[in-house]
Amino acid sequence: MYLKTNKQKYEIIIANNFYKRLTGLIGKKNIDFGMLFPKCNSIHTYFMKENIDVIGLNINNEVIYKYENLNKNRVIRINNLTSETSILELPANSTKKIKIGTILLFTED
């Protein structure tokens, strides 16, 4: 799955099993892809090597939360609606043109 933003195309890995959800982007350097955490309303950046951008999405893939250039050792909680919220992690400073209310379109190519 892919997301096009800021004239860039990012491969999006879906954290659809325990191991992917547990490790996420921990320890990764030179991040050039994103991770989507379905049915997730909070994340942490402990043990991260780089800052990231974080986007919270509702069930329609509408942006409901955005944090750019999130530092290491932080915890972000979007809301209390785990089953209706997903979190997208992207490389730092990759979401400058994405605004609250934008509906993200993911593609297969």
Q: Where are the alpha helices (DSSP H) in 2-98?
A: 18-23
**C-alpha angle with apex 12: 11 to 13, nearest 5 degrees?**
120
For the chain, which domains are there?
Answer: 2-107 (2.60.120.1140)
Give the model confidence (pLDDT) of 3-19 as tens digits.
988 788 999 999 999 99
pLDDT greater than 80 at residue 84 = yes
The pLDDT of residue 25 is 92
The pLDDT of residue 94 is 93
pLDDT greater than 80 at residue 104 = yes
Average pLDDT, rounded, for the chain: 93
What CA–CA distance (Å, rounded) separates 25 from 45?
Answer: 8
pTM of the full structure? 0.92
pLDDT greater than 90 at residue 47 = yes
Q: Are 69 and 47 in contact (CB under 8 A)?
A: no
The pLDDT of residue 13 is 97
The pLDDT of residue 32 is 94
